[in-house]
Amino acid sequence: MVPSYLPRLVNGPFEDPALFVPFRYQQRAMLFDLGDIAALPARDILKITHIFISHTHMDHFVGFDRLLRIFLGRDKDLFLWGPQGFLANLEGKLAGYCWNLVKNYPNRLILRAIELHPNRAIVKDYPCRNGFTADGTIREMPFDGVALAEPELTVRAVHLEHGIPVLGFSLHERFHINIMKKQLENLELAPGPWLKRFKALLYRGADPQTPVRIPSPNHPDSELQFPLADLQSAIARITPGQSLAYVADAAGTDENFIKIRKLAANVDRLFIEAAFSDAHREIARRKRHLTARQAGDLARSCRVKQYHLFHYSPRYTDCPEWLEAEADKAFRGQATPTDEIMARLKR
């Protein structure tokens, strides 16, 4: 199966959190957290349409300035989600600059920000041409855990505790549409924009008899027409969709564990912080972060296919392999060598 999404952490495990999720064959990407994104080229940043921010500690939000600088003058709607207090913090960022020149931009840039509370969402728009002052319209709507719902995917959010409210996220592709190139060749059909329209019909659950119009390969001015169901049978194979979960800065509490297990159950890939070793679990408890052992245990109990650790404390700069080994043993259901790790860290 050719994956629809190609998620990758922007930075190394000791650097700021940011998960970049580009869409294959589309000029589109999502971002989970917005730490330092200097490592992302501008061409990748410009693909971003949706940003999901766990919270606005500096290491999770400092990249906003670079992103906004690159987007200025572009014709774009950028959607941002964050937890309680997010709108005020976003407005504080925007208020830190003078915007007297933005009226000269010919294009339309709007920030559409959504603040998620446990049971409601608050939505405000910040148009560039208004100097990023909110347009005055404040919308409230119920929030049932779904941050974003599109025909082909769903992003869910859950509130976790880190001394302040933070959000964990999951992304689920409804199903994956595999186009069989050999079958296209047999039917003498050339790939093109019609394939995107064809997939959109499948994701919307359109009537099986809906006609799909395809440019004729031999007669550019004419079209071929197939019923949706017939074309699906001929050129497409439907398989389970991709899924991922993202968890950063969460206290190692039973309540958080329950929520994370529900959020990340059976996902293909879990991106999860591992700030401290189990040997320093008391420090982790005070600072409300996960240990590597807890991260491995969660990955195991969620039955994930792969997990990726990030957000290490700098105290492990010389021995990141100990965090990795600790998580790996927990993931495989083995005892974590806490005494051995403690001895190593005291050297």
**pLDDT tens per residue, range 31-84:** 999 999 999 999 999 999 999 999 999 999 999 999 999 999 899 999 999 999
> Quick one: CA dihedral 230, 235, 238, 243, positive or negative?
negative
Domain final residue, candidates 190, 222, 240:
240
Is the domain of 217 the same as that of 116? no
Is the domain of 130 the same as that of 267? yes
CA distances from 328 to 66, 167, 322 (A): 35, 25, 10
For residue 340, being part of any structural domain is answered with no
Q: What is the number of alpha carbons within 13 Å of residue 188 lying toward its C-beta?
A: 6
* Residue-wise pLDDT tens digits, 201-232: 988 888 999 998 888 877 767 888 889 999 99
Is the domain of 268 the same as that of 250? yes
Q: What is the pLDDT of residue 1?
A: 63
CA distances from 265 to 123, 245, 259, 346 (A): 29, 9, 10, 36
Is the domain of 101 the same as that of 129? yes
CATH, residue 309: 3.60.15.10
Name the region of 234 (left: φ>0; alpha: ψ -120 to 50; beta: rest). Answer: alpha
Is the domain of 47 the same as that of 68? yes
Is the domain of 285 the same as that of 261? yes
For residue 268, being part of any structural domain is answered with yes
* Residue-wise pLDDT tens digits, 276-297: 999 999 999 999 999 999 999 9
For residue 249, being part of any structural domain is answered with yes
User: Which residues does residue 276 pair with via DSSP β-bridges, in sequence order?
Assistant: 291
Spatial distance between the Cα atoms of 278 and 200, rounded to a whole number of angstroms? 47
Band the pLDDT of 326: cuts 50, 70, 90: very high
154 in Cβ contact with 148 (< 8 Å):
yes
Overall number of domains in the chain: 2
Neighbour order of strands in the sheet with 146-149: 146-149, 153-161, 165-173, 243-247, 269-273, 306-310
Is the domain of 57 the same as that of 206? no
Spatial distance between the Cα atoms of 330 and 335, rounded to a whole number of angstroms? 7
**Cβ-Cβ contacts under 8 Å for 234 (sequence gap 6 or more):** 183, 187, 226
Domain final residue, candidates 240, 265, 291:
240
Is the domain of 90 the same as that of 158? yes
Is the domain of 160 the same as that of 247? yes
Is the domain of 139 the same as that of 288? yes
For residue 22, being part of any structural domain is answered with yes
Spatial distance between the Cα atoms of 332 and 342, rounded to a whole number of angstroms? 21
Domain enclosing residue 214, as ranges? 175-240
For residue 343, being part of any structural domain is answered with no
347 pLDDT higher than 70: no
Is the domain of 222 the same as that of 293? no
For residue 312, being part of any structural domain is answered with yes
Domain final residue, candidates 240, 259, 285:
240
Is the domain of 132 the same as that of 263? yes
For residue 2, being part of any structural domain is answered with no
For residue 68, being part of any structural domain is answered with yes
Find the angle CA(13)-CA(14)-CA(17) to the nearest 5 degrees.
65
Please indicate, yes or no, whether the overall pTM of this predicted structure exceeds 0.75.
Answer: yes
Q: What is the pLDDT of residue 346?
A: 54
Spatial distance between the Cα atoms of 18 and 306, rounded to a whole number of angstroms? 18
